[in-house]
Amino acid sequence: MLKVFVAVAATVALAVSNAAAQASLDDTARFLAGLAPSPRAPLAAPVRDTAWRDASKAFNAAWRSLEGRELPNVRAWARKYMTARQPVVLYWFSGPDFLYADAVFPNATTYVLSGLEPVGNIPDIVALPVAARPHALRCVHQAFEHFLKDGLFTTEDLRAASENCEWGGALPLLLVLLARTGKEIRDIGFVEIDRDGTVVPGRAAESPGNVDGVKIEFQVQDRNVHTLYYFSSDLSDAALSASGFLKFSERLGSGASLLKGASYRLHEEGFILVRDFILGRYESIVQDDSGIPLRHFNLPDWWLQPFGSYRTPVTPFAPYDQEELHQLFRLGRPEPINFGFGYRRRPDETNFMLAVRKHLPSSEGQVQTQPPP
């Protein structure tokens, strides 16, 4: 009897010890973002390592450059123009770019991001051998190399992070951006969308045909709980027709759409379903010229306000030049902007458009140039 008691006690003690050693979700995000975790957290010792301090210093410097150069201007624009609260924001073709979804739509209740990058896993920093941590952290930070300079993740950076990092996939990168934008992470759960559009716990690898995703719940200063979904999803017509992704999105209700650096996929005939879904259901759209071509908007239904300056798209996207968009920027009294957005990073070269659904009479084929209310 005594031996049984000792064995049980040892098992309980080991479980308690492992639980105590497990870093919280918030501290994990802060560690990855180069921010100090809680003083008494299991990660308090690792952040005293020279390797972590060096990586943190370099990442902080790069982040300060982005924060000082661009983000305050994006947030100021949003305060001026995005006055209507949007409960749901769809930012498709985004990859793990939560930063700009948060900057443009800071008051959304639910964010839905998608990309081809795999979801990945929650990094278990404590379990990783000490000698392996510096490489793992550098690998995560390297995925941000172009993002911190250009505001866009590159396919090459994301592929390298997924294939070569101990903590691959989109989730570690999302955690970095949540920590850097001051979010308090409450919960993370792996989910999948079945063919009926229902979100259920699980990983899609075990359910062929389902869409793999992660659901993150976080708090901000208003103390309300907000939800961020990221789905690893092919948004082409063939893939969407075979999945429940659009059914899930439809159940979320109306809201806003953000399209930035979308590789001009919505200009192609293989992406009709997602294009028509956004145009048919969302009240406002913020997009650069890589989003929905202007010719697909039913112009009498929308107020269109251009920002910046529209030029022929950068190489290799020059064939997607839009004469209709040139006309909008000539006649629509574009507002100047002081930040980059999309593929052209200089404020005097960049462009985007705010489209607000508003049923007004208009001559057929004529661009409406009244500013949104």
Question: Of 266, 283, 300, which residue sits at a domain end?
Answer: 283
**What total of structural domains would you count in the chain?**
2
Please tell me the distance from the alpha carbon of residue 118 to that of residue 114, in angstroms, as a whole number.
Answer: 10
Residues 251 and 341 both lie in one domain: no
Residues 212 and 356 both lie in one domain: no
Is residue 362 scored above 80 in pLDDT? no
The residue segments making up the domain with residue 94 are 2-283
Which of residues 20 and 109 earns the better pLDDT score? 109
* Whether the predicted model's global pTM rises above the 0.85 cut: yes
Q: What is the pLDDT of residue 368?
A: 45
DSSP 183-227: -EEEEEEEEEE-TTS-EEES-GGGSTTSEEEEEEEEE-TT--EEE
Contact indicator for 158, 95 with CB cutoff of 8 Å = yes
Q: What is the pLDDT of residue 211?
A: 97
Residues 237 and 340 both lie in one domain: no
Q: Which residues lie across from 217 on neighbouring strands? A: 187, 227
Residues 79 and 177 both lie in one domain: yes
Residues 64 and 116 both lie in one domain: yes
Residues 166 and 275 both lie in one domain: yes
* Cα radius of gyration rounded to whole Å, the chain: 22
Residues 315 and 274 both lie in one domain: no
Question: Of 260, 283, 306, which residue sits at a domain end?
Answer: 283
Residues 22 and 52 both lie in one domain: yes
Reported as a single tens digit per residue, the pLDDT across 76-91 is 999 999 988 889 999 9
Is residue 366 scored above 80 in pLDDT? no
Is residue 94 scored above 80 in pLDDT? yes
Question: Of 231, 255, 283, which residue sits at a domain end?
Answer: 283
Out of 20-34, 194-208, 315-329, give the one with best mean pLDDT: 315-329
Residues 52 and 160 both lie in one domain: yes
Which of residues 17 and 128 earns the better pLDDT score? 128
Q: What is the pLDDT of residue 21?
A: 64
Residues 113 and 182 both lie in one domain: yes
Residues 336 and 358 both lie in one domain: yes
Reported as a single tens digit per residue, the pLDDT across 40-65 is 778 887 788 888 889 999 999 999 98
Q: What one-character DSSP code corresponds to residue 21?
A: H
Residues 258 and 338 both lie in one domain: no
